[in-house]
Chains A and B, each alone.
Chain A
Amino acid sequence: MASERREGMDHPHHAWSPITTRGKLSWPNNAKIALCVIITLEHTEWEQLEGSYSADQAGGLGVRPFPDYPRFSHREYGHRVGIFRVLDTLERLGIKATVAMDTQTAEGYPFLVKHCQDRGCEIIAHGVSGSQMITGNMSVEEETVFIRSSRDKMQAATGNVPRGWHGTDYGESNRTPDLLRQAGFDYVTDWVNDEQPYPMRDGLTALPTMLEMDDLFTLSQRRVTIDRFAQSVTDAFDTMYRESDTSGRLLTMNLHPWLIGQPFRIGYLEEALGHIMGHDGVWAATGSEIVDWFNNNPPA
């Protein structure tokens, strides 16, 4: 349905709210910046499931005919090698990660579930696999089953009901926020339109991600060099830090271990995050910690 020409958003999920008109957001201990590092751990299927949709078939040498050994195996690098470099880097800097994990990873790699939990990560739901995203092509029944079975399988594999949802390739239909809330989710990270959490309807909270701080978007799709990516992260932080005198800001990154966890890239991540963590007033927290704080201490 085309948009109506009237004030406000052209969808029902959240209200229009320019950042300049809001009350002051205060973080714990008067921190200026909340830093949330999401690690996306997704399993890339060898064959695209018939009827499923994938927006970004990154990795390998671009999409090649089946069987695409280089692409499939490139993505697997994250699970075998890259994740450990990323988690070590975060641990050295005192950052607890939020891991968006799909059910194929949770069920097929129990070692990784336990390893992430042992490191204090929050695990959030991330659909079924890296090659199946939610789109408007799904019927409401299909999407409901997709979300609820993802939730249930994550609960079975991790022992906890996941509170957050990060869609594969940020995929949503025009119903997704409502269906997530109905399935009991507290927050969603698909919307990349803000530098503070904000309420969606019926009690769902948006934990917005900075799309340009997503390594897949910037390194793989936009083909920016890793040194420039690191520079962008520090530039973004410096700007937000300066602006946060008036109100707290949120910097959420989304990292893919098969990309950022490569040996030549990992040092740049450490340098960029080291710059951030070297400042006073940075609160590195998980998605749930940030959302709970935000909802218990609304901007005033």
Chain B
Amino acid sequence: MSLPPHRVDYSPIIERPPIKWPNGERVALWIAPNVEHYEYMPIKHGPRDPWPRTPYPDVQQYSYRDYGNRVGFWRMLEVLDQYKIRSCVSLNLAVLEHFPEIRDAMVERDWDYMTHGIYNTRYLYAYTEAEEREFYRDNIETVLKHTGKKLNGMLGPAISGTVRTPDLMAESGLTYHTDWMHDDQPVPINVESGKLISVPYSIELNDSPLFRVNYEADYFAEICKRQFDQLYKEGAESGRVMCIALHPFLIGQPNRIKYLDDILSHITGHDDVWMTTADDITEYYIKNYYDQSVENAQKYKV
């Protein structure tokens, strides 16, 4: 079994062949709303307890998240629409079945779909190989059935996985995995068959880890703008990827929403930004840079 670091060949960002995005843009920027559903009475399976605060149910935490689907999603959507953002949703796929109005709103806007598992309370850690293989089959079929689109990528359910995850994703025909926080550009992930890359997601520019503790939305806006400015500067030489990860139950709160507007206003006020999705970044990168990148990394092998 190949384990990290063997999954990833080392390659210092300063020595890679430059990336040029489709129209010479400096930054490929994707917005990833995490549209999630957490089970009311989950079954604990594996090492992580979905509701560690209380015996189930945890009505406070369950309904805090459900607020995202009832209220926050719609408020967030207004702002995304205002800036004509076509999102790449990180989706608990059961949302497609539970909440048809959300499904329809996403389909109507031609969003791309990155699976985030079925429920955010069902982690992959304890899955057997057969169970995980079946999981991808179910994911691919569910997305196709409800949206008509082919599923290409995954952010693991609550960012969980197994040591087999990259191999089984690639075997199932998926092409990108966003659990990796190691780079500002896509990176080939070594798998047994097929091609898989990591596309930069973010746990830094992410409302969930920030707002779980004592940061607030003005800070979120400031660091998103700083991140953009730095990557925009560097992107003049070689293209960069920037992702902003949102959770409607957090960013969609009335006290926070204006800061999303502030972030998007700053970013869309610049030329040379490719407002895109992880699916489109992946397709472009694999076609134009995958082979070159694999070859370039050979020279750093020890």
Contact = CB atoms under 8 A, between A and B. Distances in A.
- A and B held together in a complex: yes
Contacts of A266: 230
Contacts of A60: 181, 203
A263 B226 contact: yes
A293 interface: no
A108 B10 contact: yes
A70 B179 contact: yes
Contact of B162 (A67, A72, A223): A67
Interface stretch (B52-60, B87-95, B211-219, B247-255): B211-219
A65 interface: yes
Interface of B: 3-5, 8, 10-15, 46-48, 123, 125, 156, 159-163, 165, 179-184, 187, 198, 203-205, 209, 213-215, 219, 222-224, 226-227, 229-231, 234, 242, 300, 302
A73 B179 contact: yes
Given A69-B156, A263-B242, 12 more contacts: A64-B48, A74-B203, A77-B181, A80-B10, A84-B13, A109-B300, A111-B10, A112-B12, A225-B219, A227-B219, A264-B204, A264-B224
A195 B234 CA distance: 37
Which secondary structure dominates where chain B touches chain A? loop
B19 to A, nearest CB: 14
Contacts of A263: 184, 226-227, 230-231, 234, 242
A115 B12 contact: yes
Contacts of A80: 10-13, 182-183, 187
A55 interface: no
A84 B159 contact: no
Given A80-B12, A84-B12, A70 B203 contact: yes
Which secondary structure dominates where chain A touches chain B? helix
Contacts of A67: 3-4, 161-163, 165
A77 B159 contact: no
Contact of B302 (A72, A77, A108): A108
B154 to A, nearest CB: 11
B12 A73 contact: no
Contacts of A268: 226
Q: Which residue among B5, B162, B183, B222 has the maximum number of chain A CB atoms within 10 Å of its CB?
A: B5
Contacts of B159: 61, 64, 69-70
Contacts of A72: 4
Nearest to A225: B219
